[in-house]
Amino acid sequence: MTRKSQTPSRRLPLALLPTTDGIRQCETRLAFSASLAAAATADLLQDGLGPDDVSDVLMPMDSSGTLSPASNHSLLNQAADLRDMYGLTGDGQTIAVIDSGIAWDHEAFTSPGQGAGIGPGYRVVGGWDFAEDDADPYDDGPAGYHGTHVAGLLAGQSSESSGMAPEADLVALRVFDDSGAGSLEWIESALRWVHDSQNDFEHPITTVNLSIGAALNDANRDYAIGILEDELQLLHDDGILVFAAAGNYYANDEITPGTTDLLYPASSPNVIAVTSIDDGGQISDFAQRENGILAAPGEGQGSAVPDHVFGWDGNVNDYAALSGTSMATPQVAAATVLIREAMIASGLEPTADDVLQRLRDHASEHKDAGTGLTYYSIDLQSALDGLQPSGGSNQPDDGGEGETAVSASEVTTDHQSQQFTLDLRDGMSLNVRNHDGSEQTYLLTDQDGQILMDAAGGSDRLEILGSVGSERLRLSADPNSDVESRLIAGGVEIVLRGFEDVQFDGGGGSDRATLYDSSGDDLLESRSGDAVLSGVGFRFDVRDVVRTYVHATAGGNDAAYLYDSDGDDTLVVQPGFTSLRGTDSSGTSLFQSAYGFESVSPYATAGGHDTAELYDSVGDDVLSISPTRSMVSSGGYQVSARYFENVTAESASGGTDVAKIYSNESESQWHVAAGLTQWTSVDGATRIARGFDRVDAFENFQPVSLPLGFTPQAAPVPLDISDQDDERFEDATRRVFEQLGV
Q: Note the pLDDT tens digit of each residue in 473-489.
A: 999 998 888 888 988 88
Phi-psi region of 449 (alpha: psi -120 to 50; beta: other; left: phi over 0): left
Q: Place domain 15-384 in its CATH homologous superfamily.
A: Peptidase S8/S53 domain (3.40.50.200)
pLDDT band at 428 (very low <50, low <70, confident <90, very high): confident
Specify which residues 677 forms β-bridges with: 672, 689
pLDDT score recorded for residue 430 = 79
Q: What percent of the chain has pLDDT over 70?
A: 77
pLDDT score recorded for residue 108 = 95
pLDDT score recorded for residue 324 = 93
Widest pairwise Cα distance in the chain: 88
pLDDT score recorded for residue 251 = 64
Question: Domain ranges in the chain?
Answer: 15-384, 390-510, 610-742
d(CA 173, CA 189): 9
pLDDT score recorded for residue 457 = 62
pLDDT band at 346 (very low <50, low <70, confident <90, very high): confident
More confident residue, 47 or 260: 260
Specify which residues 319 forms β-bridges with: 304
pLDDT band at 416 (very low <50, low <70, confident <90, very high): low
Mean local confidence (pLDDT), 149-162: 92
pLDDT score recorded for residue 367 = 95
Range with top average pLDDT, 296-300, 494-498, 627-631, 722-726: 296-300
- The residues near 403 (Cβ < 8 Å, ≥ 6 apart) are 440, 441, 442, 443
Mean local confidence (pLDDT), 711-725: 35
Burial of 628 from C-beta contacts in 10 A (0-12 / 13-18 / 19+): middle
pLDDT score recorded for residue 722 = 37
Mean local confidence (pLDDT), 113-128: 87
Averaged pLDDT score across all residues of the chain: 78
pLDDT score recorded for residue 683 = 86
Judged against a pLDDT cut of 90, whether residue 606 lies above it is answered with yes
Mean local confidence (pLDDT), 40-44: 24
Is 140 one of the annotated active-site residues of the chain? Answer: no
Judged against a pLDDT cut of 50, whether residue 69 lies above it is answered with no
pLDDT score recorded for residue 703 = 85
The residue from 326, 377, 528, 617 that is catalytic is: 326
Judged against a pLDDT cut of 90, whether residue 267 lies above it is answered with yes
The DSSP result for 257-302, as a single string, is TT--PPPBTTTSTTSEEEEEE-TTSPBPTT----TTEEEEE-SSEE
Judged against a pLDDT cut of 80, whether residue 666 lies above it is answered with no
Lowest mean pLDDT, pick from 11-25, 348-362, 552-566, 605-619: 11-25
How many Cβ atoms are within 10 Å of 563's Cβ, its own excluded?
18
Mean local confidence (pLDDT), 376-393: 71
The residue from 99, 200, 558, 564 that is catalytic is: 99
Judged against a pLDDT cut of 60, whether residue 555 lies above it is answered with yes
pLDDT score recorded for residue 393 = 31
- The residues near 588 (Cβ < 8 Å, ≥ 6 apart) are 529, 546
Range with top average pLDDT, 362-366, 572-576, 617-621: 362-366
Judged against a pLDDT cut of 80, whether residue 2 lies above it is answered with no
pLDDT score recorded for residue 391 = 34
The residue from 73, 106, 146, 203 that is catalytic is: 146
Is 146 one of the annotated active-site residues of the chain? Answer: yes
Judged against a pLDDT cut of 80, whether residue 245 lies above it is answered with yes
Lowest mean pLDDT, pick from 74-83, 376-385, 401-410: 401-410
Judged against a pLDDT cut of 80, whether residue 70 lies above it is answered with no
Is 99 one of the annotated active-site residues of the chain? Answer: yes
More confident residue, 732 or 693: 693
SS3 label, residue 232: helix
